[in-house]
Every structure is written in structure tokens, then in C-alpha cells.
Structure 1
Amino acid sequence: MKLPDLEAWAIFARVAELGSFASAAEALGITQPTVSKAMTRLETRIGTPLLHRTSRRMTLTAAGEAAVERSNRLLAEGEAVEAAVTAQAVSPRGHVRMAAPMSFGVAHVAPLLPAFMAKFPDVTLELALSDATVDIVGGGFDLALRIGTLEDSSLIARRLCGVRILLVGAPAYFERVGRPKHPRDLAGHRGLTYAYARSGAAWRFHHARHGDYSVGVPSVLRANNAEALTPALLAGAGLALQPEFLVWRELRRGALEVALPGWQPPEIAVHVVMPPGRSRPARVQALVDHLARKLAQAPWASGE
């Protein structure tokens, strides 16, 4: 009895995940002809095609759909064995690609990296910053930080800490316009809004006694980066719902104040998300653990 072609099944798992021979070859560190030959060898061996190939796209056949989950498990088990043995034999080493939101990455992730680099000198890091949601698998990322409520997906997620959202404004704004006493009052105020807010145009609040309330606030400035709203906030141009990690210093020194105490916008969280179906190389796990430990100690972090 011949042994199963484990290498070809592992290559098939990567091809199915990434959608092309070229991407699978790059991810596995082999040549594209090697990937093509492995797939031809495997399909010849089992006597049926696993992939539909056209000039524009590649899709799984019915046989490929039936085989992909088990081939993913084979690859994951092989990676897990190597990762476990390697982790015991050597300190973490290699390259880690990480994505993070722009302002959060600059202010709260980048300052944590020098200590990690000093502890693990054989690990190299690449940090990509954008407020847009990146395609972790397609972009070849090992992990990404996401802030907010996660959508259902096959990605592996770990919660790092909670983040309070606060309705804030400058003292000069409240002196000029007055303070809202109830969320309904916000309809007459000026809003500074974040373009990627999942709640859309409505601002939502919860009160322990009065329940939930949503209100539309006229927007006088809209930006796809929440930090870009800070100058207008400090100048008294309007109110904004901001994550506490962006405004905690301004709140401490009195440059901004919280409006509507008792009415709390829904809390969000910082998560790390990682590709599905893979073991965590020691270098990736070390970085995740480092970020989790440090972010949980941040002065703005909520444990809720």
C-alpha cells in the first residue's frame, strides 16, 4: 500500500485557501511549477479533478469541496507538530506581518514593539496601518488588530481588552451651545462623525433606568480616521463619539468633557484576528501574548 501524498494534499489546502497557484507557491516558499505538478499528481492519483481552472478564476469541484476540510486538518496538524518541536528547540524567529487601524496602531501598538523586539531579536516585524478592514488571508497577514464588534467569520479571534466609547466635547462648545440632557437633544447639536462607524448615522445610547435610545445627529465634519476629528473637537466645533484611547489624555487635562453622563454608547473591544485552520508559529504567539499583556494594562482599557 502506497503512503498518501501528504505534500500534495498540503499544497492543495493552500491553493484552496488562497485561490491561486501563485499565491500558494508564495505562501509555501516553493515555485509555481512545483504547485502545478503536485496538483496534477494528486488529481491523477485520485482519478478526479479537485479544481476548476479558467484564465480568470479557480474554484473547487465537488470532490475538492469534499476534500478541503480534511486537507486543511492534515496541513494544520503537520504545522502544529513542527511548531511545537521548533518552539521547544529554539526561541521564536522569522517574519510576522501585522495589520492595525491607523491611529490606534501609531499611538498604542507601535510603542509596544521595541520591548518585543528587544526580547525576541530573531523576529522581524512588518506593521501595515489602515482604518479599512484588510483581507488577512489574501493579504498574507499573520494577524490583525480590529476594534469594534466582530462580524461572523472563519477567522480565529482573541479579545484583548474592552474600549469605552464616550460622547465628548470641548468646554467652549458647551458654553456656547449648552449641554444636552437627553440623547434626543443631540438632534439640535453639531456632530463630528467617523465614516467607518458600524452604527451608521445613528448614535446609540443605553441608560440603566431609561433603556436604549438612538438619535440622528447632523454631521458638520465626517472623516475616515477618528483622530482627524480631534482638532475640530478641541476647537469647539461639535460633539463626537470617540474611543477612550483617543481622548483619555484630553479628558484628564480638561480639554474635553464627557456629555450625557449616565447614557453610555455601546462598548467595543480590541481583538486580534488570525487566519483559520493554522497552527500559531511561536513568533506569532509570542507577539499576540505580548500585545494582550500590554494592552490590558493601558490606562484607557476596560476589562468588561
Structure 2
Amino acid sequence: MNPFEDMRLFCQVMESGSFTAAAEQLGLSKQFVSRRLIQLEERLGVRLLNRSTRRLDVTPLGQSYYESALRLLSEVEQVEQGIAGQNSEPRGTIRLSAPLSFAMAHLGSLLPPFLQRHPHVSAEVDLSDRPVDLISEGYDLVLRIGTLEDSTLIARRIASVQRVYCASPDYLAAHGTPLTPEDLALHQCLPYGHSRQVQWRFQTKGKPLTLNVSGRMRVNNGELLRDAAVAGLGITYLPTFIVAQALEQGQLVSVLEDFAPEPLTLSAVYPQHRQSSRPVQALVEYLRESLAGGC
């Protein structure tokens, strides 16, 4: 019994969420995959998965085995690529997670040329604004905007992300233009997220200022907030890659420009065992070059 093949089978089941989906991905029968994992559990003397008629639940030991298996399989892949003389040409599949709005604005135009440049690389892309766990969920690379938590993960700066406070001309004509951050207390704001206390950050006289803002509409999607601002529902605060076209067309007008804080940072985050992955490093360098002017 090849332990590395068992690891690959188990990782595929974890990533697919079921024996049936994993078997389809691998071109095997469901019964074969299920039997191999039962034999794996018997050999290890532990239960890796709790099975029911509706779903599979990973046990704590199964989660630990999965994370270790990912690292080992990555190392084996890198060794094989090195022996085969493939280090000069990236090859393999990149599992990438990226924020939805950023991906819609940029990745649609960036990923096809990258894949054309590297014909032996494939990409599986998941678009989500939620904070994914790239280790347990099996991602090779995650793009994140904003401050990163300290961790054992590796983060590389890709680009700056400018944000702007803006509202429609009709809203400003009806309610007035705020001249200072404190004026926002008299306005309807359109904050991002679902928290009852949303804070917007400003720079005033060289010092940071944080204010609580509220409004009739809170959304965890930038495009909906942009459209609400265009419709005249209030003032919003969004990255320029979401509102640039509306600003150019005059549907939105920027406000409080003198109080804008420092730009956010777009970072590429990946686990330590992917540090020497040629496909991951190639994509990171490509994004750094393509977005050098900011986004």
C-alpha cells in the first residue's frame, strides 16, 4: 500500500467534501475510494472521518492528518519537479482564494495572460470575502486586503489599494457636503459589513482618527454599496477599483479627500511549505508586476 497515494485520496476527499465527488475528480469508483480510506484508518488505528448518510465530518485527528499530508505531498511534488528538471518552468495547479470585488475588477484580465504565459499551470479560483483558512481548506495562495494577523503564514505585498469617500451629486445637493469627518454624524452612511458598530478611519493633522458610522443599509459587498450610493442613499467608503467608473462618469463625487487615511495593502499569503512552489511564486511575481501602479 502506497502511503502517499492514500494521502492524495484523503486530501481529495477533504477538498471535494464527499467520496462521490472525490471519485469523480480522480476517475475512480466511489467504492474504491471508500475502501482505501477505511484501510488507511485501520492502518493508522484512528478514525479520520465521521460518516453519515448526508455528509462527512473530519475528526480532530483527521484534520491534523490532512494538514500534515498537504505539506508532505507538496514537498514530494517539489522533489519530483526538481529531479525531472522542471524548476525552470512552473507546472501544477494553484488553488487560489481572492476577495470577490477585487477579483471581478482585476483577475478576469490578469489570470488568462498568466496561464497563457505558463501553459503547464492550472488555476482553481474561489471568490469569497470571508476570511478563509488556507491550511485547513487546502489553498495554495490567498489574496487579502488590509491588516494581516500574525501567524506562521508568509505574506508578500502585492500592491496598494486606494479608498475613497463618495456620494451622488443628488445626495450632496439635498443634504450638503461634509467638510470634516465629524460632519458625518449628520449624514446617512453606507458602511461595509454587518457589524452594528462600523468604524471609518481618517487622517487629520497627521494623526489617525476613527469614527463610528451608521446608516440605513449595511452590506458585505462593495458593488451593492456603490449602487446604493449612486441611487442617493448616502455616503460610502470603498476601494477605487469598485467606484472608479462611477466617479469618472459623475455618478459619484468624492468627499473628505483631505482626510483620507493611508492606502490598504493587497497581500499574497501562503503557507511556509508553498514557499518554494514555482507556480505560486510565479503568480505572486506576476501580480506584483501587473499591479505595481496600485489598484
Query: Where on the TM-score scale, by shorter chain, does this alignment land: which range?
Result: 0.7 to 0.9
Report the CA distance between 1:110 and its aligned residue: 1.4
Preserved CA contact (<8 Å) 1:202 1:215: yes
In structure 1, distance between residues paired with 2:120 and 2:112: 13
Secondary structure of the residue that 2:248 maps to in structure 1?
helix
Give the Cα separation in 2 of the matches to 1:114 and 1:190: 41
Query: How many residues of Structure 1 are paired with residues of Structure 2 in the alignment?
Result: 281
CA contact (8 A) 1:167 1:239 kept: yes
SS of 1:273 mapped into structure 2:
strand
User: CA, structure 1 residues 70+222, in 2 after alignment: closer, same or farther (shift >3 Å)?
Assistant: closer
TM-score (norm 2): 0.74
Q: Determine which of 259, 273, 286 is the counterpart of 1:277.
A: 273
Conserved? CA contact 1:52–1:59, under 8 Å? no
For 1:175, the equivalent position in structure 2 comes to 173
TM-superposed CA distance for 1:174, in Å, is 1.6
Cα distance 1:75–1:127, how it changes in 2: closer, same or farther (>3 A)? closer
The whole-number CA distance in structure 2 between the counterparts of 1:131 and 1:263 is 27
- 1:204 maps to a residue whose letter is R
Return the offset for 1:116: 1.3
Match of 2:288 among 275, 288, 292: 292
Q: Using a 3 Å threshold, how does the CA distance of structure 1 residues 270 and 70 change in structure 2: closer, same or farther?
A: closer
> Please, what TM-score do these two structures have when normalized by structure 1?
0.72
1:115 corresponds to which letter in structure 2? P
Give the counterpart letter for 1:257 in structure 2: V
Pick aligned residue for 1:203 from 197, 200, 205: 200
Which residue of structure 2 aligns with residue 4 of structure 1? none
Counterpart for residue 217 of structure 2: 221
Counterparts of 2:70 and 2:126, CA distance in 1: 27
Deviation, structure 1 residue 261: 2.4
Q: Secondary structure at the match of 1:232?
A: helix
SS at match of 2:147: coil
Letter in 1 for 2:229: L
1:263 pairs, out of 256, 259, 262, with: 259
Give the 3-state SS of the residue equivalent to 1:150 in structure 2. Answer: coil
Question: For 1:141-192, what per-residue CA distance to the aligned partner results, in whole angstroms no more than 9, with x for missing partners?
Answer: 2212111211223222211011122211122222211111221110110111
Q: Distance in 1 between matches of 2:58 and 2:217?
A: 41
**Amino acid of the residue matched to residue 151 of structure 1?**
E
Distance 1:76 1:186, change over 3 A: same
CA offsets 1:172-219 (integer angstroms, 9 cap, x no match): 22221111122111011011111168x95122212234x232222231
Contact 1:79 1:279 (C-alpha < 8 Å) held by counterparts = no
How far off is 1:107 after superposition? 1.4
Query: For residues 244-263 of structure 1, what are the structure 2 equivalents within 5 Å?
Result: 244-263=240-259
Secondary structure at the aligned position of 2:125 is classed as: strand
- For structure 2, list consecutive stretches of 5 or more residues without a partner in the other structure: 51-56
Aligned position for 2:54: none
Question: Which position in structure 1 is the counterpart of 2:138?
Answer: 140
CA distance in 2: counterparts of 1:71 and 1:77, whole angstroms = 10
The one-letter code sitting in structure 2 at the alignment partner of 1:146 is: R
Deviation track 1:246-282 (CA, whole Å, cap 9, x = no partner) reads 1223333433222112212353111111233334432
Give the alignment of 1:56-135 within 5 angstroms: 58-59=59-60, 79-86=77-84, 88=86, 91-135=89-133
Comparing 184-193 and 167-176, the one that deviates more: 167-176
Q: Provide the C-alpha distance between the structure 2 equivalents of 1:244 and 1:181, rounded to a whole number of angstroms.
A: 21
Where does the alignment leave 5 or more consecutive residues of structure 1 unmatched?
1-6, 44-48
The answer on whether the counterparts of 1:79 and 1:278 sit within 8 Å (CA) in structure 2 is: no
SS at match of 2:269: strand
CA distance in 1, matches of 2:82, 2:281: 12
Deviation at 1:35, TM superposition (A): 7.3
Does the 8 Å contact 1:204/1:266 carry over to 2?
no
Give 1:46's aligned residue: none
More displaced 10-residue stretch of structure 1: 238-247 or 51-60: 51-60
Residues of 2 paired with 1:32 and 1:54: CA distance? 11
Say if 2:91 and 2:121, in contact at 8 Å, map to a contact too: yes
Amino acid paired to 1:122:
H
